Chains A and B, each alone.
With several copies, the nearest count.
Chain A
Amino acid sequence: MTATGTDRIDWLRTMIEIRLFEDKVQELFMQGRIQGTTHLCQGQEAVCVGAVGALEDRDYLTITYRGHGHALARGMSMEAAFGELMGLTSGCCHGVGGSMHLTDFSRNLIGAFAIIGPSYSVGLGAAISAKLRGTDSVAMAFCGDGATNIGTFHEALNMASVWKAPVVFVIENNLYGEYSPLRETTPLDDLAERAKAHAMPGVVVDGQDVDAVHAAAAAAIARARAGEGPTLLEMKTYRYRGHSRTDPAKYRAEGELERWKQRDPIDLLGAKLAAEGALSAEEQRRLRGRIQAEVDAAAERAAAAPVLTLEETKAYVYAP
């Protein structure tokens, strides 16, 4: 399906929501209202919104610990996301999972993985399952650039290709794995090349341009749904923050962050919409203000919920 004007305004809305949601997360951390660690996707919003937005409700989705944006793009309420980061019953997993495990089976968001590898194999399993059960659902699985060096990444691509599975694999290449720049751990720049080892089409996509991301994802999804097999999409993007909360990201080259910010995904789409007269700069400012109010309200609503007792969590260990 091709994007309409209203779709694109909605993308802008969602990208801003993700950006402001994560600003709030950072703030809540500083206040000690969220503990532990978190992995922000600021700068990568176009990937979450463009790719996830191309899925149908009946499709499956697996993401990673850097998954706030994907979960929100999939329609999870900010309250459910905030609640999970706060460890409260208002969370999508009732506070048991935390920031790295935003999961919502009601939206076919079947897993968020804190350990690298299985996001691809489990997503593939859902795709094969959909096919065996006679549905036309497809699955989309996410991982990062560094994750393409672990064996399971290749194991999943190989199985998907040999079984012609209805799955779309997305690599979010933000140029770093924790503190290591891509080329210190990986011998090539275009990770889409890795599809060649598995006779699978690989596509390099401008991850800052939500239109490009959505178009590439839609094409891969259509291919999967048509039974033509899997596709590997490499999204060229960049994370503005450090790897996790405790990382000041001092290891980055002078000016690199600033260069990337000139192609900020929200600014890029905002400028287009303004130029096309679809949404003026003024309207965008107002939109941002409304979203900020929603973010603040959602955080407060989430914070009002209680914490589970250990006893209550026992029900989650084994099936009823």
Chain B
Amino acid sequence: MSTHLEAERPEAAAVVTELTYREAIRAALEHELEEDPAVLLMGEDVATAGGVFKTNEGLPEKFGRERIRNTPICENGFIGVALGMAVTGLRPVVEIMFSDFLPTAADAIVNELPKFRFMSGGQCVVPVTVRSIGGATGRFGTQHSATGESWYIGLPGLKVATAGTPASAYGVLRAAIRDDDPVLFYEHKGLYGRKGPVQLGHDGILPVGRAGILRPGSDVTVLATLLMADRAVSAAEALAEDGISAEVVELRWLRPLDYDTVTESVARTGRLLVVEEQVHAGGWGATVISELSMRGVPMERPSALSMPDDLLVSYSPALEDAILPGVDDIAARIRSLVEA
């Protein structure tokens, strides 16, 4: 029961342009708002000064303050409101300013969004998209630096997506908004300034549940998301000079998870490294390694470069930098795996 209107208003021919990650998010929002009058954006200060991360510049002027709506500070309450909107014909996109605030709304995220259609015996669909901005590098301290990307991957009924490049930002966010199921979509505050090619228009919409190969390679499969996907590509580029060929796979969707692409790649390279801006426990990295081990995918001993299990992110810039897997750390780990 998607209410899209492609038929009536075909889009301009697809074009590839160089956009920042921030511009790509904004374009995805603008194009979905244009195409479907049922789509709206709500959240704290989303309609003022372009939003806190300046991803919404010009949207209130273009679509009005009803569709681009500032909310009071009450995450659990306004995700509940979005749910009520979604089951009565709208397609709300909710912005949660920092991913660290998702737990403030966890009752709605864990108990309502994924279960609402099910409990009703399939009487409704719940097309809610929750955007949240996560990750470290901002010197925002312990309570404003989590990616939170794996907090809700164990909830059937929900879908979980991420974007590590401008193309993913555009293509995955549009796919999330067009999907009839609730989707948590994670952005990374450390990537907004990153530039990259983006295919605008329907051709730039990336398929739900599919990973993407950012850089093909033959020696090792490096699986990552968000900022770590960006850093993995840099590491792979650096290693290429030494003749090490690393394939970088951006997972993009954590639920559903694209085991076909991952398995095909690992079977080809024979090695797997997951790079995570999170602890390994309870994350998508552990989930993937466990699944591949249970399926008996032929590979060397798998490896994970994650955040320390016994530490938290500090405000102190030096400490924040030190706790994150860096390009050099990734390159070094890849080298040790390939040369083992």
Contacts and interface: CB of A to CB of B under 8 A. Distances in A.
A259 to B, nearest CB: 21
B83 A96 contact: no
Nearest to B103: A115
Interface in B204-238: none
Contact of A178 (B45, B125, B322): B45
A103 B123 contact: yes
Interface string A280-319: 0000000000000000000000000001101001111111
B139 A37 contact: yes
B182 to A, nearest CB: 10
Contacts of B311: 310, 313-314, 317
A207 B17 CA distance: 52
A179 B43 CA distance: 12
B141 A36 contact: yes
Interface stretch (B26-34, B69-77, B166-174): B69-77
A124 B71 contact: no
Interface in B142-170: 142-144, 156-157
B312 interface: yes
B138 interface: yes
B101 A115 contact: yes
A117 interface: yes
Interface in A262-291: none
Interface stretch (B6-14, B87-95, B259-267, B327-335): B87-95
A96 B121 contact: yes
B119 interface: yes
Interface in B115-133: 116-127
Nearest to B83: A122
A117 B107 contact: yes
Contacts of B197: none
A180 B70 contact: yes
Contacts of B292: none
Interface stretch (A42-50, A143-151, A209-217, A233-241): A143-151
B52 interface: yes
A111 B118 contact: no
B81 A125 contact: yes
Interface in B94-118: 100-101, 104, 107-108, 111-112, 116-118
A129 interface: yes
Contacts of A26: none
A177 B310 contact: no
Interface stretch (A6-14, A69-77, A86-94, A219-227): A86-94
A152 B80 contact: yes
B316 A317 contact: no
Interface size grouping (class) on chain A: 35 or more
Interface stretch (A16-24, A155-163, A188-196): A155-163
Contacts of A177: 44-45, 72-73
Interface string B305-327: 00010111011111100110000
Contacts of A128: 81, 84-85
A101 B112 CA distance: 12
Given A36-B139, A251-B49, A118 B112 contact: yes
A133 B71 CA distance: 19
Contacts of A132: 40, 66-67, 85, 90
Contacts of B84: 60, 62, 110-111, 121-129, 139
A129 B143 contact: no
A319 B181 contact: yes
A98 B145 CA distance: 13
A99 interface: yes
B121 A316 contact: yes
Given A129-B88, A180-B44, A251-B49, A316 B70 contact: no
B144 A307 contact: no
A308 B122 CA distance: 13
A316 B67 CA distance: 29
B44 A319 contact: no
28 contacts: A35-B139, A36-B317, A92-B121, A93-B119, A93-B120, A94-B121, A96-B118, A100-B315, A101-B142, A103-B123, A111-B84, A111-B87, A114-B144, A121-B81, A122-B84, A124-B84, A129-B90, A152-B76, A152-B77, A152-B80, A177-B73, A247-B49, A310-B322, A310-B323, A316-B117, A317-B157, A318-B117, A319-B125
Q: Report the 4 A-B pairs with minimum CB-CB distance, sorted nearest first.
A: A125-B84, A98-B315, A121-B80, A36-B139
Interface of B: 40, 44-45, 48-49, 52, 66-67, 70-90, 100-101, 104, 107-108, 111-112, 116-127, 138-144, 156-157, 179-181, 308, 310-312, 314-319, 322-323
Interface of A: 35-37, 60, 62, 84, 87-88, 91-101, 103-105, 110-111, 114-118, 120-130, 132-133, 139, 146-147, 149-152, 155-156, 158-159, 162, 177-180, 184-186, 247, 250-251, 307-308, 310, 313-320
Given A87-B139, A87-B316, A318-B157, 12 more contacts: A87-B317, A88-B316, A96-B119, A96-B315, A114-B142, A120-B80, A122-B87, A139-B84, A151-B74, A152-B77, A156-B80, A310-B319
